[in-house]
Chain A
Amino acid sequence: MSERVDLQEFVGAFVAEAEELAAAANLSLLEIEVANTEGTTRPRIVRDLFRALHTIKGLAGMMGVEPIVEIAHALETLIRSADRAGGLLSPKAVEIALQGIGEISERVQAVAERRQVAGIPVQLIATIASIDAEPAATRLIKKIPSGWEGRLTVGELQQLDHAHDTAIPVWAVTFMPSASNVTRGITIASVRRDLAAIGELVRVFPRALAGPGDATGVAFDMLLISKASRDVIAATAATELVDIVAVVAHSAAAVAEIAASGAPDAPGAPDRDDHVTAIGRAVVRVDLSRLDELQEQLSLLIVSRFRLEHEIAAIAKLGHDVRRLREIAQLQGRQLRDLRRAILRARMVRVADVLEPLNLLVRGLARSTRRPVQLVLEAGDTELDKAVADRLLPALIHLVRNAVDHAIEAPEERAAAGKPTTGTVRVSCVAVAANHIELVVRDDGQGIDRDAIARRAKRPIASDAELLEVLTRPGFSTREVATTTSGRGLGMDIVQRVAVAELGGELALQTTLGAGTAFTLRVPITIAVMDVFSFQCGAQCFVVPASLVEEIFEVSAETVSVGPSPPRPGAGASTNSAVSLFEHRGQAIPLLSLGALLEIDSGARARKALVIRRNGQPMAFSVDRMIGRQEVVVRSIDDPLVTVPGITGTTDLGDGRPTLMLDLNELASVYRDRVAS
């Protein structure tokens, strides 16, 4: 057997765990910051934070990422002194710690992307080393349970103190492990976890049991702060050894009563669901690439199913009876859908978790712009595909950043306008029909000055939809606008691209001058499998997301009036002109010839038109022939070297040839630019 072991196989796991720990550390710091403003401490959280940093340090050391080790070590030293001081961490220390975690995350990201990892931030480490955690709080510890004196840390004593102040009972619980308990799944780990779910577990001490021949030889003594009743605690810890050791109550009778039934306003036993989530959750962390692999296999299966259908249709054409075959194919189709749903469920992440980084963002922005801003996240239990979440987050960051940077006014200005001085940015998410979610980023800032934008754009703007169209134009200068009163436009083309072109969703804008702005993104919860219309144009097949198509029309000569011929490079006497007007329901809709746009004109008469809505306005694309509507697996074209305007991905309709997925919105822009030039 080879003696060489290479730890590089753990890089992926390292990145995942380090990211998770860094996120947990950030959360802990934010919580400590809240405690600071309340004038309280959170010893437990400080200890969690210490552990997270310690683990990051150890793992980074094993992976040989020295800069992370150094930063984590400096932070760990800072937090350890805070722990010894009973959980006190000065605002300045919190600030610098957040910065340190940021530096760690950046380097973890570099490891993930196999980039060069930035070196040791010497300046930052010197700063961390120079600050002291605050001196220990001088609080009187009112009561230490007998037998526990001298065994508890300052932080733990403060936990007891707090229990004392709020009149929550403190219990001493002793658990004795045994082989029979283990076979029933009751171990110190399970007891510890279950007790933590019904109270605050302060400390656990192992105690070696005397006496020869005692096979187990160990007992665990625990201190638990809990409002639960004695019976509940005893049942949870699988022991009869439960005693109240400290409680503040007005009379001995009250103590007895509490001991028997729990505190007067006790929640008692946690309700069943809580309990089930607390102890019944079995979580396996899976590398996303493995889920992608699964998805890839599924997509191959979907493609081979298309082939099967083609073959069945071919057999049917020859006059054979294919009813049984069709039934089986249909059954298989349903099973595939179920399988797809199951895989999708495994890829789902909570939107609330996805939005979490926005907290840090807003906090930092509020600081740098010196404007008090609060972020409100309302995501409930909505979920979406991790792949969608990864694409969506940068767009949301753009929107939130814009809101804080440009929309929220200075406090004086807000006060003068009769608004609360603290601005609010609200990001909410709700599930809407047909596997879509709707994310709204709303601010209560100054709103967008339509007239100012109109002057910049040198065109009238009559509606929010037109405003959005101008703002999302790639050429629309952000620098000019962002610094003037209208103040918006930064990266809006990117937001539009993510929401509409990449995700096949919609972006909408609603703004009221002086009152605020709301951007609404409506996106599918998954993009791996898409519902599309397939059609033929020239000799080729294409698909477009079905969610974008409003209507499909028959095109006849009477309803179409020929427009100006487009300036096509190299085009001789034009065959079909690329644009015409199409009359529908009393409205003239621009009709673009897709064949002409893609320069694959067959000369055949287009017979169908797809209507999409572009910035609120209908627009039609003519195609030679509709093929159908189906679910396909789309592979996005992410390689920047092969980006072609108007093409977002490829798919396979079952004929084994790649079929292109078109972005009709972008094709319309391409056409407009051609006309303009």
Chain B
Amino acid sequence: MKRLLIVDDSKLMRDMVAACLRPLGEVAFEFAATGLEAIERLALAGFDLVILDINMPDVGGLEVIEFVRAQDRLRTLPIVVVTTRGDDASRARVIDAGASGFLAKPFAPAEILEAVRRFLPGKQPTA
């Protein structure tokens, strides 16, 4: 079963993201409330995809991406960034740092579903 890590400091937002991804069917969701927790989880366990908020206390999403991309084991891990800052500069910064996908909040359930399908290994986006 695919393992997805959803990182957001708002539990409600994590729940909403998981709800949006329900149509994926057989996947296991795990959650982290801060960038620090996310880094710890990623260092200790294997995941198939990360959905990452940018603005979080202490360690933000960008630092999580930097950490992930600096580790050999995690270099190809798909990271879909979900952020309230949807402007082009933010998008460029996030993609530069090494994110695989970028989605601005608010997003429609179908949008995040499609983004995750595109990057989840072994799954092809439905037409």
Contacts and interface: CB of A to CB of B under 8 A. Distances in A.
Interface in A175-213: 177-179, 182, 187-189, 192, 203-206, 208, 212
A62 B44 contact: no
Interface residues of A, number: 42
B7 to A, nearest CB: 12
B110 A206 contact: no
B8 to A, nearest CB: 8
A3 B23 contact: yes
Contacts of B55: 51, 54
Interface string A43-76: 0000100010011011101101000010000000
Interface in B74-110: 84, 105-107, 109-110
Nearest to B34: A189
A69 B72 CA distance: 39
Contact of A206 (B13, B63, B107, B113): B63
A179 B44 contact: yes
A181 to B, nearest CB: 9
Interface string B7-29: 00111110110011011010000
A5 B36 contact: no
Contacts of B16: 7, 10, 62
Interface string B31-48: 001111101100110000
A368 interface: no
Nearest to B44: A179
Given A57-B84, A182-B44, A51 B67 contact: no
B73 A217 contact: yes
Contacts of A206: 35-36, 39, 59, 63, 67
B67 A218 contact: yes
A9 interface: yes
Contact of B40 (A6, A14, A61, A187): A187
Contacts of A215: 44
B70 interface: yes
Contacts of A316: none
Interface SS of chain B: helix
Interface string A2-40: 111111011001100100000000000000000000000
A659 B13 CA distance: 46
Contacts of A47: 57
A124 B52 CA distance: 33
Contacts of B36: 188-189, 192, 204, 206, 220
A140 interface: no
B110 to A, nearest CB: 7
Interface string A208-232: 1000100111101000000000000
Contacts of B10: 17, 55, 58-59
Interface residues of B, number: 38
Contacts of B67: 206, 208, 218
A204 B36 CA distance: 8
Given A59-B13, A177-B43, A189-B33, A203 B22 contact: no
Contacts of A61: 84, 105-106
A434 B112 CA distance: 55
Given A1-B25, A62-B105, A218 B39 contact: yes
Contacts of B22: 1, 5
Contacts of A64: 106
Q: Which of A1, A14, A62 has the most CB of B within 10 A?
A: A62
A207 to B, nearest CB: 9
Contacts of A179: 44
A154 to B, nearest CB: 16
Given A13-B15, A58-B84, A206-B63, A189 B37 contact: yes
Contact of B113 (A3, A14, A178, A212): A3
A182 B71 CA distance: 21
Nearest to A13: B12
A187 B45 CA distance: 13
Contact of B19 (A3, A7, A182, A188): A7
B84 A204 contact: no
Contacts of B106: 58, 61-62, 64, 69
A521 to B, nearest CB: 35
A296 to B, nearest CB: 26
Nearest to A62: B106
A103 to B, nearest CB: 19
The 6 lowest CB-CB distance pairs between A and B, nearest first, are A61-B106, A5-B109, A218-B43, A177-B40, A188-B36, A208-B70
Given A62-B13, A217-B43, 13 more contacts: A1-B23, A5-B22, A5-B113, A58-B10, A58-B13, A58-B106, A59-B10, A62-B107, A179-B44, A204-B58, A208-B70, A212-B72, A216-B44
30 contacts: A1-B23, A3-B110, A3-B113, A4-B109, A5-B22, A9-B19, A14-B12, A17-B10, A47-B57, A51-B9, A55-B13, A58-B105, A177-B40, A177-B44, A179-B44, A187-B37, A188-B37, A188-B39, A189-B33, A189-B37, A192-B58, A204-B36, A204-B58, A204-B59, A205-B59, A206-B67, A212-B72, A215-B44, A217-B43, A220-B40
Interface of B: 9-13, 15-16, 19-20, 22-23, 25, 33-37, 39-40, 43-44, 55, 57-59, 63, 67, 70-73, 84, 105-107, 109-110, 113
